[in-house]
Amino acid sequence: MQSTVLTSLRPPLSPAPGGAAYPDLQATFAAVPDPRRAQGRRFSLPAMLTLAVAAILADHTSEQAIAEWGADQDAATKRALGFPKGITPHPSTIQRLFRRLDPLAVAAALSRLFAPPPAEERARGTAGVAIDGKAQRGRLPFATRAGTPVHALTASCHERQVVLAALPITSRADKAEAELTVAPALVARLDWRGRVLTGDALLCQRALCQQVLAAGGDYLLLVKENQPTLYRDIELLFDPPPATRPLPLLDRREARTRERGHGRHDEVRHLLASTDLTEYLDWPGVAQVIRIERTWQQQGRRKQHRHYGITSLPPDVGPPARLLDLKRGHWSIENRLHRRKDVTFGEDASLVHLGHGPSIMAGLRDAAVSLLHQAGIDRVAERVRYHSRHPDAVLALLGLPLA
């Protein structure tokens, strides 16, 4: 009777989306060049990387813990992971491999794994892609060492909540400047047809907008004082100085949402869109300008934030409600990716800093979060705790049959 009760408490295993199957990690990682010499190579590269992802999904998030989790598994689980002799790698073996692996090759392999099918047709503006940078705080003390990556730039799909591409930032320049040097390469890795780039004001750059447009995509970006002329023009349209008689907007369209939660009562988001500046602004592909106001009550006090932005989506493709939805969807990269990597998978606490180890571990955490989201799992921390007690559930998620 007791076993029946325990079984009933287990969360049901989610099927692979779209019926496809499961992610073929072994085939994905087989495309990554192996930096080791063939002589004396005891464990295959795909098996070691698959082991790492499986262990991270089971709440073992360091190189040491990955090795320990692998060693603790039974013979059948080890065979399923790619270790037919029942022997798994020592922590030092994993550490040496990760330091030498090419992080760009691993990132490219994972991008192919989570990319939608090539035949998938996307109508204009139907898919949002958030691009955002993230610091890895545990590595900041090592930032003075040349080549130590302490930041990464990531592209994440709004709807599917998977990482489409990620690149480490090894530049020792200012964080914002370093992100801008990497952004064109990240944008070039994606198929932008039918997609909309969403980002903060840092990404509001002429060249980047032109690059996305040339690739068949669109953009929706905030505008701040880093683009002073553009910012002043939009501010003057929506919020002229009190001494100036405001002109009525010839084109005025708006949308509003209201929600509660996170300690904020009745948070209201109001988006106002206009095409009045379209012919005036000297900016690649701009079709509308927007103003977003957020107001909420917190601890009995009313608070308000106001932002401006631009988009290349015309009104028929990007009505105010859709623009507000895209803007809201952008923050999923913070709440559902970055925060989960830090809180659930311990990225901020990681002290890995030698060679390419930091970037490899960050990419494997991206893969773990993406696999959970792709399977429709939203309660990530709960599922990871469940996996820590049931390695068979990890194999089921990865589609690895027990021999």
For the chain, give every domain's residue range.
9-102+355-398
Of 67, 59, 103, 63, nearest in space to 83 by CA: 67
Confidence of residue 78 (pLDDT cuts 50, 70, 90): very high
Selection from 22-36, 160-174, 208-222 with the highest mean pLDDT: 208-222
Query: Helices marked H in 285-399 — which ranges?
Result: 320-330, 332, 339-343, 357-374, 380-389, 391-398
Please give the pLDDT value at position 197: 97
d(CA 384, CA 397): 11
pLDDT per residue over 291-337, tens digit each? 999 888 777 788 888 999 999 999 999 999 999 999 988 888 877 88
d(CA 173, CA 164): 25
Confidence of residue 44 (pLDDT cuts 50, 70, 90): very high
Please give the pLDDT value at position 139: 56
Query: Helices marked H in 89-161 — which ranges?
Result: 91-100, 103-114
Q: Please name every residue paired with 157 in a beta bridge, in sequence order, or none if there are none.
A: 129
Name the CA dihedral angle for 150, 189, 94, 336, rounded to a multiple of 10 degrees. Answer: 60
Please give the pLDDT value at position 236: 93
- The reported pTM is 0.83
pLDDT per residue over 79-137, tens digit each? 999 999 999 999 999 999 999 999 889 999 998 888 876 656 789 999 999 998 876 65
pLDDT per residue over 219-269, tens digit each? 999 999 999 999 999 999 999 888 777 778 899 999 998 877 655 567 889
The strand pair at 288-298 and 301-311 is best described as: antiparallel
Confidence of residue 401 (pLDDT cuts 50, 70, 90): confident
d(CA 379, CA 394): 15
Contact criterion met (CB below 8 Å) for 211 and 184: yes
Q: Which residues contact 356 (CB under 8 A, 6 or more apart)?
A: 98, 99, 100, 101, 102, 103
**pLDDT at residue 8 greater than cutoff 60:** no
Cβ atoms < 10 Å from Cβ of 172: 13
Contact criterion met (CB below 8 Å) for 98 and 357: yes
